[in-house]
């Protein structure tokens, strides 16, 4: 009898669990962004630029960004009584509108053309307004905080063969107070670390805890740490609740208020460019030129660069680009102070503020706020297509840097000259190079003998020197870079065992000191990320002095053929 009751209880609990999971499919959905029309164009172009810099993995990710993608979401009830789909900001940040789908087996209910009600600038959260007049099945948020060891569940639609597929995972809270400022934009808030399964496409889905026969939301799944097993991170329910409270409360300022908003931003962002993020359009990046991107990255202060690199390390490539855009906008504000003289609207529902010296600021209403799209001289005329084409064209290859090893063949081109070869080790940065050289060659030519007679000579020399100079790495294709260079060498040449010549020749057994300017060009072929094979030619003219002999100086030149690697 007891065994029968136990079996019936188990069947009952299993049935309740299955019913609860079935109901979850009415609350957890798939979200598909309809990205801005310029998004895919820009990111494919920008991926080519990133690939040229050697970040192949990032380039592949960026190239796919803006194309068809999907994430997970779940339904909540807002403070205004409306239904919202909660997801991650990074899932919809470049979208003009979104599609939300609820999938149960082969049946799919689709709501398209939905608007983004708001995004959180502090945390990776976004909300989409669901249609009114429809009874959705919202999930309740948990009031209490989870503790280490608590059992948690994940629900969402990760991808299988590029299609969303329902997944329900189970795990525990492994760290209820995980802190990482890179994940929360330097805001001192903790997130939940757990072991319940999430995969690509799970982002934006709920982290759940059991409440009797129901589930409540303990967090929203946001990040999966790639180099750690079972290290998944979720934004906690209290932060979601605070975000939901802001939805529908923002007042849309009039266009006449925008000059004051801009001037306030210009003052508040002088010391902290993060203050600009809430007012910066996600499309601002699309209108930056290659020159501006390079300049912003090269001139970024160390603390800002650390912010950007920390985002890239955790896989937030698009967030790092937003930080780069915010820094650029900060610089544009400093360089183009605005004394607004006119306010106009264009055909794209954008508001243009114009100053007396052709400086312009373009605002657009986006994701619940007025945001800046463009800043600068004649900014309203900037086009994505023109600027994106600059990115895939030729330019400076900042990836040409590292240790170098090369071999050299020498051939004389003057009456006094060298035949031989050598090796070199060095360090190369984008625009400079430093080398340590060791050469062995036969020196031939004419010079005065100790009796004042002009005689031919033959000498075997071992040369040691250092060479430094400048270069310009000009990328002409994704795999080929031409590097013209000018260098200057100082060093000495010591005699090796002499070689007897003809009756009118003698051994040259003197020690030389001297210097040598040179110029040439290398052609670099990309082998892998930050690794290059190079082949080049240069002309070097040596001016050598013989210690102890007054007015004794040799001039000779040679062509050097170089073959080496940048590692």
Using one digit for the tens of pLDDT, what is the confidence trace for 2-43? 444 454 444 434 344 444 555 899 999 999 998 877 777 777
Helix (H) or strand (E) holding 311: helix 302-313
Domain 402-566 classification at class level: mainly beta
How far apart CA 309 and CA 99 sit, in angstroms, is: 32
Alpha-carbon distances, residue 554 vs 389, 518, 551 (angstroms): 52, 16, 10
Average pLDDT in the chain = 79
Cα angle 97-100-101, degrees, rounded to a multiple of 5: 150
Q: What is the pLDDT of residue 179?
A: 83
Answer whether 500's CB lies under 8 Å from 483's CB.
no
- pLDDT, tens digit, 9 for 90 and up, residues 443-478: 666 655 555 666 565 667 777 888 899 998 887 876
Hey, what are 73's tokens? 């979401």
How far apart CA 424 and CA 290 sit, in angstroms, is: 34
Q: Would you list the domain boundaries of the chain?
A: 23-246, 255-392, 402-566
Hey, what are 344's tokens? 């106009």
Q: What is the pLDDT of residue 399?
A: 66
CATH of 23-246, one of 3.30.420.40, 2.60.40.420, 2.40.10.120, 3.40.50.720: 2.40.10.120
Q: What is the pLDDT of residue 503?
A: 34
How far apart CA 537 and CA 533 sit, in angstroms, is: 14
- pLDDT, tens digit, 9 for 90 and up, residues 103-140: 988 899 999 999 999 898 788 899 999 999 899 999 99
Alpha-carbon distances, residue 38 vs 43, 45, 316, 380 (angstroms): 9, 11, 20, 15
Query: E strands within 306-453?
Result: 342-345, 350-354, 359-366, 369-377, 395-396, 402-412, 417-428, 432-448
Residue given tokens 């329900």 in the structure block: 168
Q: What is the CA radius of gyration of the chain?
A: 33
pTM of the model: 0.65
- Surface-to-core class of residue 507, CB atoms within 10 Å of its CB (0-12 exposed, 13-18 middle, 19+ buried): middle
How far apart CA 371 and CA 121 sit, in angstroms, is: 13
The tens-digit pLDDT sequence of the chain (567 residues) is: 444 445 444 443 434 444 455 589 999 999 999 887 777 777 777 777 666 655 666 677 677 665 668 999 999 999 999 999 999 988 888 888 999 999 988 899 999 999 999 898 788 899 999 999 899 999 999 998 999 999 999 999 998 877 899 999 999 999 999 887 666 655 678 899 999 998 888 989 999 999 888 899 999 998 887 777 778 899 999 999 999 998 877 778 888 899 888 888 888 877 777 788 888 888 888 887 766 776 777 777 777 777 777 777 666 777 777 888 888 888 888 887 888 888 888 877 789 998 888 888 999 888 888 999 888 888 888 776 444 434 434 567 666 778 888 888 877 776 665 677 788 888 888 788 898 888 777 666 665 555 566 656 566 777 788 889 999 888 787 678 889 999 988 887 777 765 444 433 334 555 667 788 889 999 988 887 568 899 999 888 878 776 655 556 667 777 888 888 888
- Surface-to-core class of residue 483, CB atoms within 10 Å of its CB (0-12 exposed, 13-18 middle, 19+ buried): buried
Helix (H) or strand (E) holding 389: helix 384-392
């Amino acid at each position: 009898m007891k065994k029968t009751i136990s079996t019936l209880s188990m069947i009952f609990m299993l049935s309740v669990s299955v019913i609860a999971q079935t109901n979850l499919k009415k609350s957890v959905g798939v979200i598909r962004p309809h990205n801005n029309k310029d998004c895919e164009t820009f990111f494919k172009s920008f991926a080519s630029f990133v690939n040229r810099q050697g970040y192949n993995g990032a380039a592949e990710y960026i190239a796919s960004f803006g194309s068809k993608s999907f994430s997970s979401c779940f339904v909540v009830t807002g403070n205004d009584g409306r239904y919202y789909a909660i997801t991650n900001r990074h899932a919809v940040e470049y979208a003009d509108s979104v599609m939300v789908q609820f999938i149960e087996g082969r049946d799919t209910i689709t709501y398209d053309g939905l608007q983004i009600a708001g995004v959180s600038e502090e945390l990776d959260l976004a909300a989409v307004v669901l249609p009114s007049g429809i009874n959705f099945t919202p999930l309740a948020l948990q009031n209490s905080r989870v503790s280490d060891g608590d059992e948690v569940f994940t629900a969402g639609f990760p991808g299988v063969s590029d299609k969303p597929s329902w997944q329900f995972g189970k795990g525990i809270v492994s760290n209820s107070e995980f802190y990482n400022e890179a994940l929360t934009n330097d805001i001192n808030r903790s997130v939940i670390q757990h072991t319940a399964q999430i995969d690509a496409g799970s982002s934006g889905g709920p982290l759940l805890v059991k409440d009797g026969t129901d589930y409540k939301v303990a967090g929203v799944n946001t990040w999966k740490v790639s180099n750690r097993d079972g290290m998944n991170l979720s934004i906690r329910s209290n932060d979601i609740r605070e975000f939901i409270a802001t939805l529908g409360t923002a007042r849309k300022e009039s266009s006449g208020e925008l000059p004051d908003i801009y001037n306030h931003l210009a003052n508040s962002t002088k010391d902290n460019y993060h203050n600009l993020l809430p007012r910066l359009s996600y499309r601002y990046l699309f209108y930056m030129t290659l020159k501006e991107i390079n300049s912003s990255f090269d001139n970024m202060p160390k603390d800002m660069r650390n912010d950007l690199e920390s985002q890239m390390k955790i896989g937030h490539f698009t967030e790092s680009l937003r930080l780069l855009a915010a820094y650029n906008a900060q610089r544009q504000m400093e360089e183009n102070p605005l004394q607004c003289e006119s306010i106009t609207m264009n055909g794209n529902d954008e508001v243009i503020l114009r100053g007396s010296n052709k400086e312009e600021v373009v605002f657009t209403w986006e994701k619940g706020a007025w945001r800046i799209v463009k800043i600068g001289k004649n900014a309203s005329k900037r086009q994505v297509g023109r600027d994106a084409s600059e990115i895939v064209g030729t330019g400076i290859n900042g990836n040409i840097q590292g240790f170098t090893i090369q071999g050299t063949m020498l051939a004389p081109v003057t009456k006094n000259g060298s035949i031989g070869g050598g090796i070199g080790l060095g360090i190369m940065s984008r625009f400079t190079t430093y080398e340590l050289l060791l050469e062995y060659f036969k020196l031939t030519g004419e010079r005065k003998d100790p009796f004042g007679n002009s005689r031919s000579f033959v000498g075997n020399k071992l040369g040691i020197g250092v060479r430094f100079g400048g270069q310009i790495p000009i990328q002409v294709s994704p795999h080929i870079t031409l590097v013209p260079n000018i260098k200057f060498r100082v060093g000495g040449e010591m005699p090796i065992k002499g070689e007897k010549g003809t009756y009118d020749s003698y051994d040259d057994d003197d020690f030389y000191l001297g210097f040598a300017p040179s110029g040439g060009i290398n052609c670099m072929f990309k082998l892998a990320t930050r690794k290059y094979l190079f082949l080049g030619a240069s002309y070097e003219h040596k001016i050598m002095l013989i210690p102890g002999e007054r007015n004794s100086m040799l001039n000779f030149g040679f062509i050097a053929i170089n073959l080496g690697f940048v590692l």
